[in-house]
Structure 1
Amino acid sequence: MLGLLFSGQGAQYVGMGRALQDASQAARGLFARADEVLGYSLSSICWEGPESELVRTEHCQPGIYVVSLAAWAALCERCPSLDAPGVVAAAAGLSLGEYSALAAAGGFTFEDGLRLVHTRGRLMQEACSASDGAMASVLGMEVEALSPLCSEHGVGIANLNCPGQVVVSGERSRVDRLVEALKAQGIRVIPLQVAGAYHSPLMAPAAEQLGDALERTPMQAELRFPVFANVNAQAHSGPEEIRDLLKAQVVGSVRWEESMRAMLALGVTTFVELGPGKVLTGLMRRIDRGVKVVRVEDMGTLEDAAAQLTG
């Protein structure tokens, strides 16, 4: 059984998606529609940069969304049987990627999802500019041991990615003190180069305004396949819950490992990572090394995935 995984913010790079649009009519069509909807050439920013523009949240979020769905469209173009009912058992996306997963499942249109992620990116950038936040990846320490220290320092848990990898988020001064305390215990901690404290209360202004945009967005009552929500690691059950959980996601923890284990429990035996980079493939290797993972981000990976999924 097939599971789809959609990339999150941070995976972007200049040139992403260009090879897909060169070789796939379906992918090319999505880039053209995206440029038309947004009123500027997002495709040029994805393919040519400059990097300083691509990394801006209001550009990289819609850029990754389009590239990820272009990867799925190109794969289905090569392997039409993958788009048949019942082939995909479930999907999930890391933070931003949850929107890509919902669009692929028919929760909302490509265009409406694009407008949402563009708005989300802009609002999150504004929240970052209005605060002084930071994030750090804590390695080799389980959440049960880390949580009390986070509470003591007033820092939140942003991502539960895989065994031994937890991301913390909050006010910069508080995160810095937590990092010092962890390093004093011999724990490896990597500060993340991000614009602010994603998935923390510092994003509350963005969550509130995004909630208004979500309320205005038409959503379908039934999905083509289950999509697991980041904040509760359960499958979305309908439009109102989708709106509520996407709003909550902006300030809540991403329970990625739990989501992956839930998909495995459904019987997923092969995962396809769609979009730039291979972060999700790496996380899955830490969660379950025995499961098969292929990915699609360019022509080489597209051909390899098509061969493995149809061979």
Structure 2
Amino acid sequence: MNPPYDRIEIIALGAESREDLQKQVKDAAKQASGTAAIKQLGETSRRAFSENAPLRLLIADTVPGQIREKLQIAENWLNAPEKEANPVPPEIFYGNRASEGKLAFLFPGQGSQYVNMGRSLVTHFAEAGPIMKMAETVFDRNPSLRAHLYPPETQEKDEERSRQEALRSTDVAQPAIGLVSRICLSVLARHGVLPAAAAGHSFGELTALCAAKSLDENDFLTLAAARGRFMALAGKNSGESGQMMAVRAGAKQIEELIRTHRADVVLANRNSPKQQVLSGPRQAIEQMQEICRKNRIMAKPLPVSAAFHSRLVMDAAAPFQELIANTKFHRQQIPVYANTTALPYPDDPDAVRQLLGGHLLKPVDFINTVENMYADEIRTFVEVGPGAVLSGLVRQILGTRPHAAFSVDASAGRQPAVLDMAQSLCRIAALGYPAQLHRWPSASPDQALLSVC
């Protein structure tokens, strides 16, 4: 459960010079004397802010606790001699140049879910209501999707573990991640944050197609629920659903071990230069785990229901392909990079169906997806949905090359989701991308727009 908080405020300041910014921050720190004053300061600053200002400094936190303190930290930092080149203090978002390159959205897949993900977004933003209602209708089960996501608070450890386990089930996790990712997407759209391109990891590719307007809302949520349901049943007919295992090693090293030992596994996910995921029959995965141990490679089986992105999920692929064949696809409004090819999806709807239909059986090449997006001038990667796994992988892939990668759910539940979102909007604006911060809501959490219990 998130820690208690009052409300989230964003202070956004833009200036022509460092001296002007110093004065604005000093004046803001003096004004930040209480809840009402900080609210007024926030609203006024957000209306006046422009991402085109030569210097930009933004702060988001709880009121009245942290805003004043952070403004004072920012004031001290700005007053320090520039020659000392002090790094920007944590949670102070600062930019002094125009946006570099294009901004893209990345959407997470299964494994990113956790109980209460996105909870405070649901209570803060009216956009969440219709999406939640539609997802509940499509899911149409008891317990409901909302009950899985936002159960009553408990202090019982066994009950907490049981809830996490229920949400981890593939037929619940995938529609739940899709719902929360779609709510995050709607909050970004509310503030005018729009991507130049999109990609997803495994399940997240469906969300990316929705973000590109290739799928409408209902079709996306229907496919998300069906995909999870089909994959949960994968392998049941043959009696072998298989297993997946994460390994900490380069792809070439793992491929060589697979060839040398003729292991009946596939390299299902090329996640980063140092992380891969294997899929295969349970016995073959156990064999590879022992091989990895002997070669001093960290290997850990994953808590998933089947060997995804391998032949063992053919039972799921066939009905999913049939459902896709009867789904209407529209021309993408932005490029969506496919996991299978690491290239943008084609425009032709039939070609889209064919590529997406084979997605469950084929490996995820996330490394080359990111590399190709970078080659196409994407420089800022925003992870939209629960957790921060993909943004971490992007940083591993791109290394020291100029880029920014972060998640709108950076704390993964350690702080309120609405604070994570506010800080992400600050980061986006500080980088010089458009963000309509005047649309940040003034309602407090006790004025909930939608019940989550």
The question of a shared fold, defined as TM-score above 0.5 by the shorter chain, is answered with yes
CA RMSD after TM alignment: 1.5
Tell me how far 1:285 sits from its aligned partner: 1.4
The separation in 1 between residues aligned to 2:386 and 2:235, in whole angstroms, is: 24
Render the CA deviation track for 1:26-49: whole Å, top value 9, x for unaligned: 123211221123334312211228
Aligned partner of residue 278 in structure 2, secondary structure: strand
The separation in 1 between residues aligned to 2:204 and 2:271, in whole angstroms, is: 14
Among candidates 88, 95, 117, match of residue 16 of structure 1: 117
* Contact 1:17 1:47 survives alignment (8 Å): no
Matched with 2:313 is 203
The worse-fitting range, judged by mean Cα deviation, of 36-45 and 285-294 is 36-45
The amino acid across from 2:147 in the alignment is S
The separation in 1 between residues aligned to 2:301 and 2:148, in whole angstroms, is: 27
Tell me how far 1:164 sits from its aligned partner: 1.6
TM-score by length of structure 1 reads 0.93
Tell me how far 1:118 sits from its aligned partner: 0.9
The separation in 2 between residues aligned to 1:39 and 1:177, in whole angstroms, is: 40
Residue 93 (structure 1) aligned with residue 203 (structure 2): no
Among candidates 369, 388, 403, match of residue 291 of structure 1: 403
Identity %: 32
Matched with 2:219 is 112
Alignment of 1:141-220 (within 5 A): 142-151=250-259, 152-220=262-330
Matched with 1:310 is 429
The separation in 2 between residues aligned to 1:310 and 1:143, in whole angstroms, is: 36
The amino acid across from 1:22 in the alignment is T
The separation in 2 between residues aligned to 1:154 and 1:58, in whole angstroms, is: 27
Tell me how far 1:128 sits from its aligned partner: 4.4
Matched with 1:274 is 384
Aligned partner of residue 224 in structure 1, secondary structure: coil
Matched with 1:252 is 362
Residue 125 (structure 1) aligned with residue 238 (structure 2): no
Flag the structure with higher helix content: 1
Q: Which runs of 5+ in 2 are unaligned?
A: 1-101, 152-161, 410-416, 431-453
Q: Whose radius of gyration is greater, 1 or 2? A: 2
The amino acid across from 2:172 in the alignment is H
Matched with 2:148 is 45
The amino acid across from 1:303 in the alignment is A
Tell me how far 1:20 sits from its aligned partner: 0.9
The separation in 1 between residues aligned to 2:231 and 2:310, in whole angstroms, is: 11
Aligned partner of residue 158 in structure 1, secondary structure: strand
The separation in 2 between residues aligned to 1:244 and 1:76, in whole angstroms, is: 29
Aligned partner of residue 159 in structure 1, secondary structure: strand
Among candidates 241, 244, 262, match of residue 135 of structure 1: 244
* Contact 1:89 1:266 survives alignment (8 Å): no
* Contact 1:271 1:293 survives alignment (8 Å): yes
The separation in 1 between residues aligned to 2:378 and 2:323, in whole angstroms, is: 33
The separation in 2 between residues aligned to 1:128 and 1:114, in whole angstroms, is: 24
The separation in 1 between residues aligned to 2:124 and 2:170, in whole angstroms, is: 28
Tell me how far 1:52 sits from its aligned partner: 3.2
The worse-fitting range, judged by mean Cα deviation, of 91-100 and 48-57 is 48-57
Render the CA deviation track for 1:253-310: whole Å, top value 9, x for unaligned: 0000100111111111111101111101110110124421232232111101111222
Residue 74 (structure 1) aligned with residue 187 (structure 2): yes
* Contact 2:266 2:278 survives alignment (8 Å): yes
Tell me how far 1:51 sits from its aligned partner: 2.5
Matched with 1:224 is 333
The separation in 1 between residues aligned to 2:368 and 2:256, in whole angstroms, is: 20
Residue 63 (structure 1) aligned with residue 184 (structure 2): no
Tell me how far 1:12 sits from its aligned partner: 0.5
The aligned length equals 303
